[in-house]
Amino acid sequence: MNPAAFRQQIRRAWAIAKKDIRIYYLKGPVLIFGVFMPVFLFLAFFMGGRQLPLAFLLSGLVGMTLFFTATAVSPAIFPWEGQAKTLERLAACPVTIEAIVLGDMIASILFGIGVTMITLLIGLALGLSLLHGIVLGFAILLAALCFSAIGMLLAVPPTNVPSNIMMLSTLLKFPLVFISGIFIPLEQMPAWGLYLAVCSPLTYFTDLVRYSFTGAHYFPVIVDIAALAVFTLVFTAAAMHLHRRSLPRRM
């Protein structure tokens, strides 16, 4: 693809992202789910009598907020548009499948980062000190890319019934939260728990957030960043490839 055509596809991806934000993301139920689901999980553990530092729990809350918001809507966009027959019109336009997927990802990234900023402000208002702001900012951007790619992977099955995709999404997301060291420090996990934790990108993001607030970490920072980068590249490439194959079966 020549540079001019590439720039055109990027502009079309941005147009798709703006459409997604306007139609799917700026809705009360989506905002409520993205904000309150992580908060309720946090409060359940915070008030459960466990003697965990506030910085530890709030770092986990930041991780959950970005994870839930970046994957809240993106898995259902393809089924919704397939059901409404708008996906056929979009596919008939001079836009590549990669640009469609990228547009959906951009909307998910912006929504996830925006809501996560609110959680960060809450943590700072409670008196937490931000020790490594640059690391945290880079980690949020990279994790938002990674989690939005996960959302697009969940949308790959060629069904136009959004509830089927959302059920699959829920079955995946909640186990990832509980194996990623959010509520149980990685140091306290049994060996089998650590084997599961290293398979979750949320583990590395949470470790980076805790490092940013406390200076403590389980994995070296460079390992956390490298793992997130690898997950992001693999998930993004897989999402674009699989959607290219599954799109004709949605029509």
Residue 111 amino acid letter: F
Rounded to whole angstroms, the Cα distance separating 37 from 34 reads 6
Instruction: Report the pLDDT averaged over residues 171-179.
Output: 85
**Residue 93 DSSP symbol:** S
- Cα dihedral sign, 146-171-13-15: negative
Residue 173: closest CA among 31, 79, 65, 246: 65
The answer to whether the CB of 138 falls within 8 A of the CB of 223 is no
* pLDDT > 80? residue 45: no
Q: What is the pLDDT of residue 236?
A: 94
Radius of gyration over every alpha carbon of the chain, rounded to an integer in angstroms: 18
Q: Which two tokens stand for residue 208?
A: 């980076």
User: Contact 224/209 with Cβ under 8 angstroms?
Assistant: no
> Given pLDDT bands bounded at 50, 70 and 90, which one contains residue 33?
low
Higher per-residue confidence, 152 vs 6 = 152
pLDDT of 32 strictly over 90: no
Q: How confident is the model at residue 30 (pLDDT cuts 50, 70, 90)?
A: low
Total residues belonging to the chain: 251
Could you give the CA distance from residue 209 to residue 130 in angstroms, rounded to a whole number? Answer: 10
Q: What is the model's pLDDT at position 223?
A: 95
* pLDDT (average), residues 183-208: 89
Cα 26 to Cα 33, 122, 145: the distances in Å are 12, 21, 20
Residue 43 clears pLDDT 70, i.e. is over it: no
Burial bucket for residue 177 (CB in 10 Å: 0-12, 13-18, 19+): buried
User: At CA 244, angle to CA 17 and CA 247, rounded to 5?
Assistant: 80
Other CB atoms within 10 A of residue 157 CB? 17
Q: Residue 211 CB: number of other CB atoms within 10 A?
A: 22
